[in-house]
Each structure stands twice: as C-alpha cells, then as structure tokens.
Structure 1
Amino acid sequence: MEPQDDRIARRLAEIRAQEKALDDEAAAAAATPEVIEERQGSRMRSVVFVVVLLLVGLGLTGAAVTMSRLAGQSMDDATRTGQATVSSCHEQGPVTTRGFGYWDSCATSIKWDDGQDVRVTVGAVFTSADVGKTIEVGDVGRHRQSQKLARADVEARPWLRWIGYPVLVIGVLPLIFLGVVLAGSVRRRR
C-alpha cells in the first residue's frame, strides 16, 4: 500500500493534466470559428414560409385589382358620351393583370356625340351578352394603351375601390418584407 501523500500527489497531477487538456481544447475552439449546423427541417420550413408569404401577398394584391375592376367607372366622370356597338367578345381569365375571375374583352365601334367614330377593343366593360347591342357609354380617359369607358346602364361602385386600396397595401407589405428578408439572406451568404 502506498503512502497517503503519494496517492494525493498522483491524483493532483491527474487533475492538473485534465485541466490543462480542457484549457488547450478551449483555446483551440476559440481560435477556430464555431460552425453552427442548420437543423434539417429548418430549411424546408424557410422555403414553405417564403412560398406562403409570396402567395398571400400576390393573392391580396390580385384581390385589390379585382375589386378595382369590379368597381366600374361613373358616367359623372365622362368627358364625352356616345353610343357603343359591340361586335365581338372573347373571354379572359381566370388570372390576369385585371385580377381574378373571368371577364370579356370586346371589339367595339363607338360613335361619339361630337361626330367622331372609333373602333376600340375594351376590356371588362362589356360582356358577350352585349354583342350586337348599342349601349350608351362615357369616355373617362385612357389607362396605358386602353380606353376607359363608363356604361350609362351600370352604376359605379366606388366603395369597392375604397376597400381595394387598403387590401392592396396589406398585400404589398408581405412582398416588401419578403424582398428585405431575401436581400439580407443574399448579403449574409456573400
């Protein structure tokens, strides 16, 4: 049997060796940057989050554009009036730059009260049921390359457009947030 002091000295030497090994490990870990491993499911969750955010933003934006289309134009805003005769229509939709749902784009001859005759294709004002009919219309200007018309027999619903504006803002916010998140993600990876 060993004397008590030898066993204590040997145990103390073991403890000091363990401490030195731990200190060396800590110094080596501090010298190399720690790599954080991404959990396996987090990438899939991120992709699903981005897709859902994109769909919500685009869906709300499309709903706002649809409300604006359905609101129509008021004859009170017309600069001139005339008689439109619808010659043919073709259906557009279900998802277009004018929103969701089906609508008709119609070739129309318009005889304005000032004597001018024009032939235009107008979208989302007439339907295929109007082919061959003459309808009183008002000229409310142009948007991009298309003529904007108001129908005398259809009441404008400006409240739909008023509801559409906040829906548009709410729909654009997720898209802006998504753009900021993706831009930050691209910057971090560089």
Structure 2
Amino acid sequence: MSSGSRRGPSTFLLILIGVVALAAGWTALNFRGGVADVKDLSDRPHATALVKTCKKAGPISISGVGYWWTCKVAITTKTGHHSTQTFNGSQFTPDDKGKKFPLAGAGRTSSTWSRADVDSNNIAVMSAAAGMIIGIIALIVAGRRLLRR
C-alpha cells in the first residue's frame, strides 16, 4: 500500500497532535485546585503552610507550558512535625510570601500536601486526563506507523 492511499492523518500530524495534547493535559493539571470542597477531611492529616520563597518557571517547565510560580513552603503539622514542600503551578505566588495557609494531606496515604482553602476543579482534572490519553494514543499510533515503514 502506498502512503498516498493511506486513510487518516499523516504520521507527522499524529505526532504533532500527541505532543500538543500531552502538553495541554499536563498544563491543565495546574488548575486542579485543592481539597476545600471535600466534605470530610477528618481522615487526612492537617498542617499549616508558610510560603518562604517563590521563583518563576517557564516557558516550559514541570508545570507545563507557560509561566508559573514555583514556591518553597515550610509546613508544620498539627503534631508539630516540620518539613518543606515545593508547590508548582502557581499554587502560591510571591504575594503569599510570609502568609500562612491551611493544608490537608493530598490523599489518605499520601506524603504530600494540598491546599485546604481552595476547591478542587474537576473540569481541569478531566481535561488533563483527556489530553494525556489523546496524546498517548496519538503517539502510539504514530510510533506504530513509523515502525511499519
């Protein structure tokens, strides 16, 4: 079968779609929010965050595409344990430096923290999942086409 008679998008277009969809999905994760709208956080640990330093990241970074704030936060748990965590994706900004914010465990067994004063954004989570799934599928199909040549 010649490449001229093949149906569907070209391999290059599939790679482009895959990369763009993955980047969009990864970037959408920054808008997922916190856990303030979770009705019962009693089974999760609680802490207080004190924003220490922030630096700008981008145009491509762990937070995705765009310019984002990455902030180091000092965490003090209700039991008095002290630790630090870096929050990416502008969850905190330089305007928050020196201010305290409530945190809750990101999950029942997670060792990371999530903001307890910000609602979660399920649309962002679904958009991130859709972008990553579409991106992975497009790249797999493109890869298979390249291997068949």
Structure 1 and Structure 2 fold alike (TM over 0.5): yes
Picking from 111, 117, 140, the partner of 1:153 is: 117
Q: Which residue of 2 aligns with 1:114?
A: 79
Structure number with greater Rg is 1
Specify which structure has the higher proportion of helix: 1
Any unmatched runs of 5+ in structure 2? 5-9
Q: Which residue of 1 aligns with 2:128?
A: 164
Please report how far the alpha carbon of residue 98 of structure 1 lies from its aligned counterpart in structure 2 after TM superposition. 3.0
| Alignment: residue pair count | 136
**Paired residues of 1:122 and 1:148 also in contact (CA < 8 A):** no
**Paired residues of 2:23 and 2:64 also in contact (CA < 8 A):** yes
Alignment of 1:37-76 (within 5 A): 49-75=10-36, 76=38
Q: Distance in 2 between matches of 1:153 and 1:184?
A: 52
Q: Which residue of 1 aligns with 2:7?
A: none
Q: Which moved more, 1:54-63 or 1:75-84?
A: 75-84
Matched, 1:181 2:145: yes
Any unmatched runs of 5+ in structure 1? 1-37, 43-48, 142-146, 186-190
**Paired residues of 1:63 and 1:100 also in contact (CA < 8 A):** yes
Matched, 1:140 2:112: no
Amino acid at match of 2:46: T
Q: Distance in 2 between matches of 1:149 and 1:94?
A: 25
Q: Return the structure number with greater relative CO, CA threshold 8 A, min gap 6.
A: 2
Q: Distance in 1 between matches of 2:141 and 2:130?
A: 17
Q: Normalising by structure 1, what TM-score?
A: 0.62
Q: Which residue of 2 aligns with 1:101?
A: 66
> Deviating runs (4+, > 6 A) in structure 1?
none
Q: Normalising by structure 2, what TM-score?
A: 0.77
Q: Which residue of 2 aligns with 1:131?
A: 97
**Paired residues of 1:73 and 1:149 also in contact (CA < 8 A):** no
**Paired residues of 2:44 and 2:105 also in contact (CA < 8 A):** yes
Given the superposition, is the C-alpha separation of residues 96 and 51 from structure 1 closer, same or farther in structure 2, using an over 3 Å criterion?
farther
Q: Distance in 2 between matches of 1:136 and 1:150?
A: 9
Q: Distance in 2 between matches of 1:74 and 1:175?
A: 33
Q: Percent identity?
A: 26
Alpha-carbon RMSD across the aligned residues, in angstroms, is: 2.6
**Paired residues of 2:34 and 2:117 also in contact (CA < 8 A):** no
The CA deviation string for residues 93-114 of structure 1, in whole angstroms up to 9 with x for no partner, is: 2222432222211111111111
SS at match of 1:72: coil
Amino acid at match of 1:70: F
